[in-house]
Amino acid sequence: MSQEATVLILGAESALMTTLTERMPSLGFRCARAKTPTEAIGFANDRNFRFGVALIEPHFPALDLQQALHALREGTSSPALTFLATGDPPNPETRERLRQAGVRQSVWSPVSDHVLRFQINAAFSRYGDDFLRIEQRAPVECAARVQVGGRQKQASVYSLSAGGAFLETPRPSMPGAGVTLDLETRAGRVHTRGEVAYTNVPGNVSRASLPIGMAVRFHEMDFDGAQIVRQVVTECASRLRV
């Protein structure tokens, strides 16, 4: 993985943080564990790498949280380091403390692999392709029925926006293939056509931090369908904000 693709699990020993550390490799991420910013800085400098994402619990012990997180970015030469709050959802005062320190996104308990993977990937691409997206996307979980070439197969949605979706499936179609999709969202069924933009398949070119599957760019989605998608995406994204 690239030098930037390192997740820092920062904070005192806890069952949650230990579990998250153990789960990272299976989700395709390299990670490091540190109890304090000072320990994290030493760890990064000793091994000559930088952090891209850090997970912290809401009640992180620092008199000035904003200053502590800034010092961590500076000390590890990680100016793009993005922080995700994790653990039990805190009270409004603690949320405000996190927001003032620049912590905007979360993976609140119970932490599913689906949401954890999405939020870390989104944080890594903060200054990449995600920043240029026109439509908001979120880790909406729903079933999808895919029709391509007269055949039908089941898939599950990994991420969704009104512009497209990444579908988790062991049998992705080839890039450029035209597909018809039926999405079973909690707000209603959405029917649309689309085209496979790219795939993630087992092999040397696969991206370990993405599920096996395919990205589909939507075409010919009607107004009602787009409204349903935007509604469920907005609801899902709002739950992930600090």
Residue numbers of the domain that contains 46 = 6-132
My answer on whether 128 and 153 are in the same domain is no
My answer on whether 155 and 40 are in the same domain is no
State phi, psi for 202 to the nearest 5 degrees: -60, 140
- Whether residue 33 is contained in a domain is answered as yes
- Whether residue 103 is contained in a domain is answered as yes
Q: Which stretches of the chain score pLDDT less than 70?
A: 1-5, 126-133, 204-205
My answer on whether 82 and 200 are in the same domain is no
The rounded distance, in Å, linking the Cα atoms of 34 and 37 is: 7
- pLDDT value of residue 3: 46
- Whether residue 137 is contained in a domain is answered as no
- Whether residue 138 is contained in a domain is answered as no
**Mean pLDDT, the chain, integer:** 91
pTM of the model: 0.90
Kindly give, in sequence order, each residue whose CB lies less than 8 Å from that of residue 32, ignoring residues fewer than 6 positions away.
Answer: 6, 7, 8, 9, 40, 43, 44, 51
Specify whether the CB–CB gap between 240 and 107 falls below 8 A. Answer: yes
My answer on whether 127 and 178 are in the same domain is no
Domain-terminating residue out of 74, 108, 132:
132
Tokens 């007269």, residue? 150
CA angle 153, 156, 159 (to 5 degrees): 135
- pLDDT value of residue 126: 64
My answer on whether 181 and 117 are in the same domain is no
Cα pseudo-dihedral 32, 34, 38, 41, rounded to 10: 0
- pLDDT value of residue 108: 96
- pLDDT value of residue 182: 97
Helices (H), 76-163: 92-100, 113-124
- Whether residue 1 is contained in a domain is answered as no
- pLDDT value of residue 1: 38
Cis peptide before 110 (omega within 30 of 0): yes
My answer on whether 26 and 96 are in the same domain is yes
